Amino acid sequence: MALTPLDDLNRLYGKLKRRAGAAEAWSNYYNGDVPLKFASPEFRGQTGALFDDFSDNWCQVVPDATVERLVPIAFRLNDGTIDTKAWDAWRRNEADVEVGLAFLEALIAGRSFGLVWKPDGINTEITFHDVRQAIVEYVPGKRRVRRAGLLLWRDGAQERASLFYPDAVYLWVREVGKVDGLGDPLAPTFGGTGWVSTGVLPNPLGAVPLVALENRARLRGKPTSEIASVAPLQDSVNTLWAHLMTAADERAVPARAVLGMDRPTKEILDEDGEVIGEEDLPIDRFRRDRLLWLEREGAQIAEFSAADLTNYTSVIETAVRHIAAQTRTPPSYLTGEMVNISADALVASEAGLVAKVQERQRYFGATLRELMRLEALASGDAARAEALSMGSVVWRDAQFRSEAQYADALTKYKAINVPDEALWERMPDTTPEEIERWKSMRDDQAAAIVGGNIAGLFGAKPDDTAGETPELEAADAQ
């Protein structure tokens, strides 16, 4: 029996909500909002909710270190030229900013999504959505062929859905009114799933316009969050810090003990001033007032050494090193220790992170090429769409270098006759617009040289006689 669009909507909706639950857990880790784990019931009974709001958050550093190096700066066609139309559309939709948020969400939750559509039938929009809003389904056995896509959003007391197929888009709405504690809509108040169709639109692109950016996808298995391998170590670090601070509160200073003497007491008097008994003096008073006296012969004072808290910090440092090794995050990002490090040593320490970023550039780049292919189709330029599908994404250099290092490397490339345009493209944060401007300036310089206007290269010649008196001007004339 063939599935109807409503069947697809309900099935994809349920799948999206299940993914959203896992994504919420990883998002909480990124925000440092996680409960204390690996603590014994006895420890919890002693500390209560004291450490509920504490987190030594390493889960934020790991994805941030990767996303800050994922910066696309241009789109190249299959003939090697820069597609200025694609870059104009990219910047017109502020995708140069929004794509960083999409990358970060993909690293945290495992997925994010990009959508290309013409909501008004005139202007093409490129938007990005997280895993709580969108889902894509593929044709069985074909990992790159999208069968359908679902996009959800709230509109006041209504929840709206757009179900994308290669040839049509089905629009739905339902009343939800209330939301749960996470902001998700509760079950509708009337029978069934509550979805009501509001129309069907043609899809002129001939493809599902919703594309997934997947992190660490596998041939068999789901995309993975960058936080998945960090979370257990993060939980252990938080617990160790809780134990350390508890030990610091009680055992960080030496403790003294009195041997061979009864505890100090005070007399208990009745209303007439008669002694009717005695009671032990509270030890806290002696700690607070720092008073001590010995009255019994042979009494001695002993001392218990302060607890060695470095036992905790050494284990925490080991856990942090494990985080660095497993996630290929440079130790300098996690420990902040950068003393007398040479440039070569710093490059070597970042080699793992650079390799990881370059790998993400390859996979995310395929998604960005597909997004811009859809944008070209939406603009009615099928030839450019085909050229983009076989082209590439130009990324900012994943390796952070100083200006002196770039200058030295480009000078050596120039010595082996690498063209200027290729050298300019290797410079960080150089946009296609800047390269075109430099080319124009170079052509103007060449034209000035060929035309004999050498002075024009350096501006107008200054007037040496400016400010002279008439007498001096007459003398110069003679």
Q: Hey, which bits of 15-157 come out as E strands?
A: 72-76, 111-117, 125-130, 134-138, 146-155
Helix 231-251 and helix 310-327, axial crossing angle in degrees, nearest 10: 170
**Residue 230 CB burial class (10 angstroms; 0-12, 13-18, ≥19):** buried
- Cα dihedral sign for 408, 409, 415, 418? negative
Does residue 448 register a pLDDT over 80? no
Q: Could you read off the pLDDT of 301-331 as tens digits, one per residue?
A: 776 677 778 888 899 889 988 998 989 998 7
Does residue 456 register a pLDDT over 60? no
Cα gap 176→194, rounded to integer Å: 9
Please compute, for residue 410, the number of CA atoms within 13 A of its CA located in the half-sphere on the CB side.
17
Cα 55 to the chain's mean position, in Å? 18
User: Which residue from 440, 434, 442 is spatially nearest to 73, judged by alpha carbons?
Assistant: 434
Helix 5-31 and helix 231-251, axial crossing angle in degrees, nearest 10: 30
Q: What is the arithmetic mean of pLDDT over 292-296?
A: 64
Residue 343 host element (H or E):
helix 343-349
Q: Across the chain, what does the average pLDDT equal?
A: 83
Considering just the CA atoms, what is the radius of gyration of the chain in Å? 35
Q: What one-character DSSP code corresponds to residue 342?
A: -
Residues present in the chain in total: 478
Does residue 467 register a pLDDT over 70? no
Domain boundaries, the chain: 5-35+55-226, 254-305
Q: Could you read off the pLDDT of 155-193 as tens digits, one per residue?
A: 888 899 999 999 999 999 998 866 555 555 554 443 346
The model's pTM is: 0.79
Residue 344 host element (H or E):
helix 343-349
Contact 296, 262 (CB under 8 A): yes
